[in-house]
Amino acid sequence: MRLGFAVKVLGQPNLKSHDSRRWQNNPHLSVSLAYVRDIFLYLERQGITMYRLSSELAPYVAHPGLPQFHNQVDECLQELEAVGQMAQRQGLRLSFHPPSYVNLSSPDETLASRGTRWLTTLARILDAMGAGPEGVVVVHIGGAYGNKRLALERFALRWEKLPELTRRRLALENDDSRFSVADIGWVHKRTGIPLVFDYLHFLNNPDGMELTEALAKCLQSWPEGVRPKIHFSSPRTAMKLVKLSDTASGQVRRKARPPQTTEHADFINPFEFIAFCKMAKNAGLGDFDVMLEAKAKDLALLRLRDDLRKFAPEEFDGI
């Protein structure tokens, strides 16, 4: 099992995930790749072998009003190959998770078309880096727009029209409010797209599916020879202080707010994770990798790894 984290590094200062400059300053994929090389060196030192790249790696690449940014992948083929070879030497599993406005279920053809361009760019980056079939772009269905069945149909139809290189890189994840494992299972049956099980999002389970059944459905959707991946996070349980501003007086006060069940915690509850993994093992579900979606990022991964070796060494000693 490989453990990974998403985008931002907290364990070493000044490691940027991508070139975040505004368009007026001419940001570029080549600058982002220089940052990625530094992150890969950090991952190697920490023994981390799974990482989610920033979806903003190529800034403004799909922006319809800024065509000067559209050819960044072609302009950086050599740099992408070099960074990809670095990842391969380290045994790094890479992935992307595009922003929420990439929405293939939208009834707005313009919005959906922009999302298609973005997904194709991310798929091309993984191809140019020489990533194996385990390197995926994980997407959500998107909005329901008042009719879940039609939204699922639109997603499936648009998936079928994507370029082949994009289709083979996409994987589909259940979300926390609209589309459950059963819903994305319908899309898999229609298209063959692999499914990414999200543990925290499984709170959205209107069909009453058992955890083992849902996990099995997702893991078994992956092509033979490609190790599945899942997302795991613990729900936030700590009280949160929020700022409230009084516009009339200009005063700012803080109010305690109970956590929401769908919020990600800073760290991973190790006992929850151990129980989950034992459940999967006892059910004979096979090996899979885990992307941790904790707010403490790499610090949460390193802490969980230590906790697993401490509390369940017989299960996780080699992790």
CA 22, 28, 31, 32 torsion-angle sign = positive
Would residue 208 count as lying in a domain?
A: yes
The answer to the question of residue 242 being in a domain is no
Whole-number pLDDT of residue 242 = 77
259 inside domain: no
Q: 165 is written with which tokens?
A: 């290189």
| Antiparallel, parallel or unpaired: β 289-292 and 195-198 | unpaired
Of 87, 117, 123, 125, residue with least CA distance to 101: 117
**Per-residue pLDDT at 104:** 94
- Domain residues for the domain of 205 are 3-235+264-316
Q: Which helix (H) or strand (E) holds 295?
A: none
Q: How far apart are CA 228 and CA 286, in angstroms?
A: 9
What is the rounded CA–CA span in Å between residue 134 and residue 238? Answer: 35
Rounded distance, CA 209 to CA 129, Å?
38
Rounded Cα–Cα distance for residues 153 and 141 (Å):
10
Q: Residue 107 is part of a domain; what is its CATH number?
A: 3.20.20.150
pLDDT tens for each residue of the chain, 319 residues long = 999 999 999 999 999 999 999 999 999 999 999 999 999 999 999 999 999 999 999 999 988 899 999 999 999 999 999 999 999 999 999 999 998 888 999 999 998 998 999 999 999 999 999 999 999 999 999 999 999 999 999 999 999 999 999 999 999 999 999 999 999 999 999 999 999 999 999 999 999 999 999 999 999 999 999 999 999 999 888 887 777 777 677 677 777 778 787 889 999 999 999 999 999 999 999 999 999 999 999 999 999 999 999 999 988 877 7
Position 204 in a domain: yes
Spatial distance between the Cα atoms of 31 and 16, rounded to a whole number of angstroms: 10
Q: Please say whether the beta carbons of 196 and 215 come within 8 A.
A: no
Phi, psi (deg, nearest 5) at residue 316:
-130, 20
User: What is the enclosing helix (H) or strand (E) of 278?
Assistant: helix 270-282
- With respect to residue 141, please indicate whether it lies within any of the assigned structural domains: yes
In a domain, 225, yes or no: yes
Sign of CA dihedral 62, 66, 69, 71: positive
Beta-bridge partners for 138: 171
- Total number of domains constituting the chain: 1
CA distance 92 to 42: 12
pLDDT given for residue 150 in this prediction = 96
Identify the residue whose tokens are 């990022």: 297
The reply to whether 248 falls in a domain is no
In contact, 126 and 137? CB cutoff 8 Å? yes
Structure tokens at 73: 């992948």
Give the model's pLDDT for residue 238: 84
- For residue 42, the number of C-alpha atoms closer than 13 Å in the C-beta half-sphere is 21
| Global pTM value | 0.93
Q: What DSSP state is assigned to residue 202? A: G
Q: To which residue do tokens 């922006």 refer?
A: 63
What integer pLDDT is reported at residue 253 of this predicted model? 76
- In the three-class reduction of DSSP (H, G, I as helix; E, B as strand; rest coil), residue 256 is classed as strand
Confirm whether 250 is domain-assigned. no
Token digits of residue 188: 């898999």
Q: Identify the CA nearest to 1 among candidates 86, 93, 87, 89.
A: 93
Residue whose pair of structure tokens reads 């929401």 in the numeric block: 260
The distance in angstroms from the start CA to the end CA of the chain is 7
Residue 192 CA to residue 195 CA, distance in Å, equals 9
Cα–Cα distances (Å) from 111 to 19, 188, 194, in that order, read: 24, 23, 24
Q: How many CB atoms lie within 10 A of CB 102?
A: 23
